[in-house]
Amino acid sequence: MVLTPSKPLRMWGVTDSPSADLYVPMIAVIEDIIDETPDTKTFRLRFEDDEYAQSFSWEPGQFVEVTVFGAGEAPIGFASDPAEKRFFELTVVARGKVTKAMHAMQKGDRLGIRGPLGNCWPLEAMKGMDIVIISGGCGLAPLRPAILHILRNRGDYGDFWLLYGARTPADRDYKYDLEKWAKRDDMHLLQTVDVADENWTETVGVVTVLLEKIKVNPENAVALTCGPPVMIKFSTIELLDMGFSEDRIVTSQERYMKCGVGKCGHCCVNHVYLCTEGPVFTYAQLRALPEFRL
């Protein structure tokens, strides 16, 4: 079975609404801010327009363009459960002008939102298969909606392995989720850090060492990866060595996004606009682009 990342039936949350415009951001209010790590925050948002909010929908793997007025715009992936209609969450690392400005905002402040944009993780095609999710650092954010979907529909999928790596225990995102997931008996959570503290009892090392501990049949399994480029590269090499086919290794290239609508050319590789055709691709699709390198 060949997996192909999914295009949602509606690329925009409310294409039937006169308010839904490719270039016009809708106003969202910050309802809550969660400190994840010293440089990462999760923003819980709701749209000011209640009618728009009710019809807004998205799929795991998609992203939005966030406008911080006076600072600029940045692409950020959804990080919450798509079944939650009251709000949505974005997890943001303070790295550039826009994200640093976003970190300075408070509850009640307003942002502009364009989207949802892009395609999504092939969760429908993955039904009945074993799932291996490999993530490093802030790469857990674009995968969290897929994880929550799988756990909410646990009977639709086979064995579920989540492998997560971070620099230190304190640098792990969603510690509250990780604590709950570690207690579940219907999934396998393996964690590793580069530098341990005195309380760390799990693996120390790069996330790929965790692949040695999993038990899956590659012929009935799919791997989703997101994280630093070096992690994705070596995870892919290890998965191929384990027997995973190129179309069963799926990754998000969200880091290449800029305008999100195929206009600026920032993400164009061999005439393929990664923002409109992706950000989710199989390794087979990426390998078919001569200019692309993991």
Q: Which of 99, 106, 227 is nearest to 163 (CA)?
A: 227
**33: its two tokens:** 């801010």
Question: What is the predicted pLDDT for the residue at 19?
Answer: 44
Confidence check: pLDDT of 10 > 50? no
Question: What is the predicted pLDDT for the residue at 4?
Answer: 66
Whole-angstrom distance, CA of residue 28 vs CA of residue 33: 14
Whole-angstrom distance, CA of residue 50 vs CA of residue 52: 5
Whole-angstrom distance, CA of residue 210 vs CA of residue 119: 28
Exposed/middle/buried for residue 197 (C-beta within 10 Å: 0-12, 13-18, 19+): exposed
Whole-angstrom distance, CA of residue 103 vs CA of residue 213: 37
pLDDT digits (tens, 9 = 90+) for 142-178: 999 999 999 999 999 999 999 999 999 999 999 999 9
Confidence check: pLDDT of 134 > 70? yes
- In the chain, pLDDT over 90 holds for what percent of residues? 80
- For the segment 184-190, the average pLDDT, to the nearest whole number, is 97
Whole-model pTM: value is 0.92
Angle, CA 29 vertex, CA 26 and CA 33 arms, to 5°: 135
Whole-angstrom distance, CA of residue 101 vs CA of residue 22: 24
Question: What is the predicted pLDDT for the residue at 12?
Answer: 35
Answer yes or no: are the C-beta atoms of 119 and 279 closer than 8 Å: yes
Name the band, by pLDDT with cuts 50, 70 and 90, for residue 15.
very low
Confidence check: pLDDT of 257 > 90? no
Among the ranges given (75-89, 176-190, 253-267), the one the predictor scored with the smallest mean pLDDT = 253-267
Question: What is the predicted pLDDT for the residue at 3?
Answer: 65
Whole-angstrom distance, CA of residue 115 vs CA of residue 20: 9
Question: What is the predicted pLDDT for the residue at 293?
Answer: 74
Q: Which domains does the chain have, with CATH numbers?
A: 26-117 (2.40.30.10), 130-246 (3.40.50.80)
Rounded to whole angstroms, what are the CA distances from 103 to 71, 138, 154, 176, 237? 12, 15, 35, 21, 36
Question: What is the predicted pLDDT for the residue at 23?
Answer: 83
